[in-house]
Structure 1
Amino acid sequence: MQASDIRELSQGDVQVRIAELEEELFRLKFRSATETLESPLRLRLVRKDIARLNTVLREKQLAAPKQGSGASPSRSKGPAKRASR
Protein backbone atom coordinates (compact mmCIF):
# COMPACT_ATOMS: atom_id res chain seq x y z
CA MET A 1 0.00 0.00 0.00
CA GLN A 2 1.46 3.34 -1.06
CA ALA A 3 1.62 6.30 1.33
CA SER A 4 -0.20 8.47 -1.20
CA ASP A 5 -3.10 5.99 -1.20
CA ILE A 6 -3.17 5.97 2.59
CA ARG A 7 -3.28 9.77 2.81
CA GLU A 8 -6.55 9.74 0.84
CA LEU A 9 -8.24 7.62 3.55
CA SER A 10 -9.97 9.10 6.59
CA GLN A 11 -8.52 8.61 10.08
CA GLY A 12 -11.20 6.05 10.90
CA ASP A 13 -10.43 4.05 7.76
CA VAL A 14 -6.72 4.11 8.57
CA GLN A 15 -7.38 2.82 12.09
CA VAL A 16 -9.58 0.02 10.75
CA ARG A 17 -6.90 -0.95 8.25
CA ILE A 18 -4.25 -0.98 11.01
CA ALA A 19 -6.43 -3.31 13.10
CA GLU A 20 -6.93 -5.64 10.12
CA LEU A 21 -3.21 -5.79 9.38
CA GLU A 22 -2.28 -6.36 13.03
CA GLU A 23 -4.66 -9.30 13.11
CA GLU A 24 -3.16 -10.65 9.88
CA LEU A 25 0.34 -10.22 11.31
CA PHE A 26 -0.67 -12.16 14.42
CA ARG A 27 -2.07 -15.00 12.30
CA LEU A 28 1.05 -15.06 10.13
CA LYS A 29 3.37 -15.19 13.14
CA PHE A 30 1.31 -17.97 14.67
CA ARG A 31 1.34 -19.97 11.43
CA SER A 32 5.07 -19.43 10.96
CA ALA A 33 5.69 -20.97 14.37
CA THR A 34 3.65 -24.07 13.57
CA GLU A 35 4.30 -24.59 9.87
CA THR A 36 6.23 -23.27 6.90
CA LEU A 37 4.72 -20.18 5.31
CA GLU A 38 4.09 -20.04 1.58
CA SER A 39 5.45 -16.51 1.51
CA PRO A 40 7.62 -15.49 4.47
CA LEU A 41 8.06 -12.11 2.80
CA ARG A 42 4.43 -11.36 3.67
CA LEU A 43 5.44 -10.89 7.33
CA ARG A 44 7.80 -8.07 6.41
CA LEU A 45 5.32 -6.46 4.03
CA VAL A 46 2.55 -6.45 6.64
CA ARG A 47 4.88 -4.95 9.27
CA LYS A 48 5.93 -2.19 6.88
CA ASP A 49 2.32 -1.48 5.91
CA ILE A 50 1.40 -1.12 9.59
CA ALA A 51 4.30 1.28 10.12
CA ARG A 52 3.29 3.28 7.04
CA LEU A 53 -0.31 3.49 8.24
CA ASN A 54 0.78 4.59 11.72
CA THR A 55 3.01 7.28 10.22
CA VAL A 56 0.23 8.73 8.09
CA LEU A 57 -2.21 8.53 11.02
CA ARG A 58 0.22 10.50 13.18
CA GLU A 59 0.65 13.08 10.40
CA LYS A 60 -3.11 13.53 10.29
CA GLN A 61 -3.32 13.87 14.09
CA LEU A 62 -0.64 16.54 14.12
CA ALA A 63 -2.22 18.43 11.23
CA ALA A 64 -5.73 18.46 12.78
CA PRO A 65 -5.09 21.01 15.60
CA LYS A 66 -3.29 23.38 13.23
CA GLN A 67 -6.34 23.48 10.96
CA GLY A 68 -8.74 24.02 13.88
CA SER A 69 -7.80 27.31 15.56
CA GLY A 70 -4.89 29.61 15.14
CA ALA A 71 -5.94 31.95 17.97
CA SER A 72 -3.85 30.47 20.76
CA PRO A 73 -0.14 30.56 19.97
CA SER A 74 1.89 27.82 21.58
CA ARG A 75 4.20 28.99 24.33
CA SER A 76 7.75 27.86 24.09
CA LYS A 77 9.35 27.04 27.38
CA GLY A 78 12.80 28.25 28.18
CA PRO A 79 15.66 26.00 29.18
CA ALA A 80 15.08 23.72 32.14
CA LYS A 81 16.17 25.00 35.53
CA ARG A 82 18.87 23.16 37.37
CA ALA A 83 18.12 21.62 40.73
CA SER A 84 20.08 23.03 43.63
CA ARG A 85 22.45 20.66 45.35
Structure 2
Amino acid sequence: MKASDVKDKTPDQLQDDLLKLKKEQFNLRFQGASGQLEKTSRMKAVRRDIARIKTIQRQRVAAPVKG
Protein backbone atom coordinates (compact mmCIF):
# COMPACT_ATOMS: atom_id res chain seq x y z
CA MET A 1 0.00 0.00 0.00
CA LYS A 2 1.41 3.36 -1.02
CA ALA A 3 0.94 6.65 0.79
CA SER A 4 -0.75 8.15 -2.25
CA ASP A 5 -3.33 5.35 -2.15
CA VAL A 6 -4.01 6.04 1.50
CA LYS A 7 -4.40 9.79 0.97
CA ASP A 8 -7.12 9.22 -1.65
CA LYS A 9 -9.34 7.24 0.73
CA THR A 10 -12.17 8.59 2.86
CA PRO A 11 -11.94 8.48 6.67
CA ASP A 12 -14.41 5.56 6.78
CA GLN A 13 -12.36 3.59 4.27
CA LEU A 14 -9.21 4.27 6.27
CA GLN A 15 -10.87 3.03 9.45
CA ASP A 16 -12.01 -0.15 7.70
CA ASP A 17 -8.54 -0.76 6.28
CA LEU A 18 -6.99 -0.15 9.69
CA LEU A 19 -9.31 -2.69 11.29
CA LYS A 20 -8.49 -5.28 8.60
CA LEU A 21 -4.76 -4.69 9.00
CA LYS A 22 -4.92 -5.02 12.78
CA LYS A 23 -6.76 -8.34 12.42
CA GLU A 24 -4.16 -9.51 9.92
CA GLN A 25 -1.38 -8.41 12.27
CA PHE A 26 -2.94 -10.42 15.09
CA ASN A 27 -3.21 -13.49 12.87
CA LEU A 28 0.37 -13.11 11.70
CA ARG A 29 1.60 -12.83 15.30
CA PHE A 30 -0.36 -15.92 16.20
CA GLN A 31 1.10 -17.83 13.23
CA GLY A 32 4.59 -16.66 14.17
CA ALA A 33 4.21 -17.85 17.74
CA SER A 34 2.98 -21.25 16.62
CA GLY A 35 5.72 -21.62 14.00
CA GLN A 36 3.38 -21.59 11.00
CA LEU A 37 4.37 -18.21 9.53
CA GLU A 38 5.88 -18.58 6.07
CA LYS A 39 6.34 -14.96 4.93
CA THR A 40 7.92 -13.08 7.80
CA SER A 41 8.27 -9.98 5.65
CA ARG A 42 4.47 -9.61 5.66
CA MET A 43 4.61 -8.69 9.36
CA LYS A 44 6.84 -5.72 8.57
CA ALA A 45 4.65 -4.63 5.65
CA VAL A 46 1.47 -4.78 7.74
CA ARG A 47 3.07 -2.84 10.57
CA ARG A 48 4.17 -0.12 8.15
CA ASP A 49 0.75 0.03 6.49
CA ILE A 50 -0.86 0.51 9.91
CA ALA A 51 1.58 3.33 10.67
CA ARG A 52 0.91 4.89 7.27
CA ILE A 53 -2.85 4.93 7.84
CA LYS A 54 -2.51 6.30 11.37
CA THR A 55 -0.19 9.04 10.12
CA ILE A 56 -2.63 10.15 7.43
CA GLN A 57 -5.52 10.09 9.91
CA ARG A 58 -3.53 12.21 12.36
CA GLN A 59 -2.54 14.69 9.64
CA ARG A 60 -6.17 15.13 8.64
CA VAL A 61 -7.16 15.83 12.24
CA ALA A 62 -4.31 18.30 12.79
CA ALA A 63 -4.60 20.14 9.45
CA PRO A 64 -7.68 22.28 10.28
CA VAL A 65 -6.14 23.40 13.59
CA LYS A 66 -3.13 24.95 11.80
CA GLY A 67 -5.17 26.97 9.31
TM-score for both structures, normalised by structure 1: 0.72
User: Is the radius of gyration larger for structure 1 or structure 2?
Assistant: 1
Counterpart of 2:33? 33
Identity of aligned residues (%): 36
Q: Give unpaired runs (5+ residues) of structure 2.
A: none
User: After alignment, is 24-33 or 55-64 more displaced?
Assistant: 55-64
Runs of 4+ off more than 2 Å: 63-67
Q: Give unpaired runs (5+ residues) of structure 1.
A: 68-85
Q: Matched residue of 2:4: which SS?
A: helix
Counterpart of 2:53? 53
More helix per residue: 2
Q: Matched residue of 1:36: which SS?
A: coil
| Distance (Å, rounded) in 2 between the aligned partners of 1:34 and 1:18 | 24
TM-score for both structures, normalised by structure 2: 0.90
Aligned length: 67
> 1:8-37 CA distances to partner (integer Å, 9 max, x unpaired)?
001111111001000000000001101231
| Distance (Å, rounded) in 2 between the aligned partners of 1:37 and 1:10 | 32
Partners of 1:3 and 1:52 within 8 A in 2: yes
